[in-house]
Amino acid sequence: MMGEYPAEFPTDRLYARNHMWAAPLAGSSYRFGFAAYAVRLLQDVYFLDWDIPAGTSIAEKQEIGQIESQKAEASLYAPHAGTLLEFNQVLLKDPSAINTDKYGDGWLFELEGETTQLLSPEQYLEHLEAVWEVTQRTIKGQMNQ
């Protein structure tokens, strides 16, 4: 639960500390998207842009793009080092799938590389519990603006 709202977390994938999910593809490739936690905080994403082209080698925590929503403007960072294989081009024209189908058509990008720093669903829930108090203050601050 995120307050009074349920948050979905499929158990067939891994999670990053920056609140992205990672679904395995072939080999060491993963498809990434925003977890319910991030979508709830962002609310209504209306703009998405990428700073680098597909095929680029990236470092963990490297800035790779920007996102704008009803609640925030933020940079997007790589959840781990690797090679960026593909971006979800459909989202550049209409990012609404991030809100409506976050674990399906709302995927962001595909990345190949070492994923040892990604979390199991259980580890991710523990991480969420650890950051929830700060999140509540953030949400309350947004509501008081």
Specify the pLDDT at position 140: 52
Left if phi > 0, otherwise alpha if psi is -120 to 50, otherwise beta: which for 109?
Answer: beta
Tell me how far apart the terminal alpha carbons of the chain are, to the nearest angstrom. 24
Q: pTM for this structure?
A: 0.86
| Token pair listed for 79 | 């959840």
Would you kindly state where each structural domain of the chain is located, as residue ranges? 14-143
Specify the pLDDT at position 145: 42
Q: Tell which CATH architecture fits domain 14-143.
A: Beta Barrel (2.40)
Specify the pLDDT at position 95: 95
93-115: burial string, b at 16+ Cβ within 10 Å, e else: eebebbbeebbeebbbbbbbbeb
Specify the pLDDT at position 68: 94
- Residues (pLDDT < 70) of the chain are 1-6, 135-145
Specify the pLDDT at position 114: 86
**Whole-angstrom Cα distance, residue 1 to residue 107?**
22
Quote the radius of gyration of the chain (alpha carbons, Å): 15
